[in-house]
Chains A and B, each alone.
Chain A
Amino acid sequence: MKVIKEAIAGTLESSDVLVKVAPTEKGTREVVLRSEVIKQFGEQIKQVVTDALDKLSVSAGSIVIEDKGALDCVIRARVQAAVLRGCSSEELDWRRLS
């Protein structure tokens, strides 16, 4: 899947995360992470995001994560929602979202 339009999911509130996706000019996949707990959990958050993107086979798109201390399950859900919106995905393989 490729991100073909801009989309967001999530909020700026504490314990949540705002995920913004956009198409990239060069067709690459770029993840940018900003987190209030980046020192403690930066690596783990990045892993969760990468896993979520890989499971949905996202090959292209800019993915900006503005984390406010969200739990892994929240991060995963927000990334999935933003990507599915940004890819205008009509048909869903629900197994990929577990």
Chain B
Amino acid sequence: MNAIDEFSTISPNDSPNVMVVVRKLLGTNNLELDNQVEAFVVCRRDGRVVACAGLDHNTIKCVAVAEQFRGESLSLRLGSETVKLAAERSQFHLFLYSPPHNLPFFRGWSFYPLVEVPQLVVLMENSPIAIQAYCDGLREQRRQGSKIGGIVLNANPFTLGHQCLVEEAARACDWLHVFVVREDASLFSYADRLALVAAGVKHLDRVSLHPGSDYIISRATFPGYFLKDDALVDHSWAAIDLLLFREYIAPALGITHRYVGTEPFDPVTGNYNKDMEHWLQHAASAAPAITVIEVPRVSVRGIPVSASQVRRLLTRRDFDAIRDLVPASTLQFLEQKFSAAHNVTEEVGNQ
């Protein structure tokens, strides 16, 4: 009864020996070590590692308590230490994924369920009010109409493909809501991407441009999107992101149709489009179905325009070729930003 629990924080890279033990603990709980975890809270009892929890930016992952020590207050201390660690790293709005049967466990950590992929996974957040406050903000921007469209863009950078998609959707709808992915995990910063989209759609009436949020294709709601090289992109992640859109964002804004460009190149985005139709339109849900409209991607000289192509051309400073693929506002930005002095070596993100 009087065992002494010691909690400590370790960085996976600096503590290979402890990580061997942590990996084993996770393994006995059918969990794998997630290599995105930046820090672990580890609990040792009499020197032995009995519980752990990992933190990847604002998402808690890899939580395990050795079976014989469950049902004590250990898990609540683990939760407190993890929340504290996150706060020290300036992360206050936290998310976690849990199998549905562990939901009561994380309710004890004051996490609240957001959406569930039945029998598979629940996304939870550590606030009883955050999603409602977010939706209240969206509701204030609701527009009248029977056909309300929605588009989510990463726009890395904003191309003619994006512009045509927005124009076509705007023509077909009474009002169109455009969201720009906020996560700064792409070659172009969020601020730059948002500015390029704003410049590229400002000639259109009946279009609202919305900032992104933690609830739209973010590291927390759709980790796979930002980890393209990893072949292990799980479909359930896309489901979570899409269910958030269907159950919270779309009802708040009255969105009835979601528009997306066809994706001939990128497998992750390609799968995302397929998942989109399933989760927004066909899957059972308390929220109304949203019609998914796939718009054929615009082509220049027979080749579909893609942001990744623009990024490739950018590594060679081939502005003549880029000129054909992007609106004038994007071209001007790229020419200013990438004067000969800079080098584009990064190849991150997509769309």
Contact = CB atoms under 8 A, between A and B. Distances in A.
Contact of B76 (A6, A13, A62): A13
B329 interface: no
A18 B129 contact: no
Size category of the A interface is 10 to 19
A82 to B, nearest CB: 10
Instruction: Give the interface SS of chain A, mostly helix, strand, loop or mixed.
Output: strand
29 contacts: A6-B90, A8-B84, A8-B87, A11-B76, A11-B77, A12-B83, A12-B108, A12-B109, A12-B110, A13-B73, A13-B76, A13-B77, A14-B73, A14-B76, A18-B80, A18-B83, A18-B110, A20-B92, A20-B127, A22-B92, A25-B137, A32-B128, A32-B129, A34-B110, A64-B127, A64-B128, A64-B129, A66-B110, A68-B76
A52 interface: no
B349 interface: no
A12 to B, nearest CB: 5
B77 A34 contact: no
Given A12-B76, A18-B83, 13 more contacts: A6-B87, A6-B92, A8-B83, A12-B80, A12-B109, A12-B110, A13-B80, A14-B73, A18-B110, A20-B92, A32-B128, A32-B129, A64-B128
A49 interface: no
A60 interface: no
Interface of B: 73, 76-77, 79-80, 83-84, 87, 90, 92, 108-110, 127-129, 137
Nearest to B84: A8
A10 to B, nearest CB: 8
Interface in A62-87: 62, 64, 66, 68
Interface in A1-55: 6-8, 11-14, 18, 20, 22, 25, 32, 34
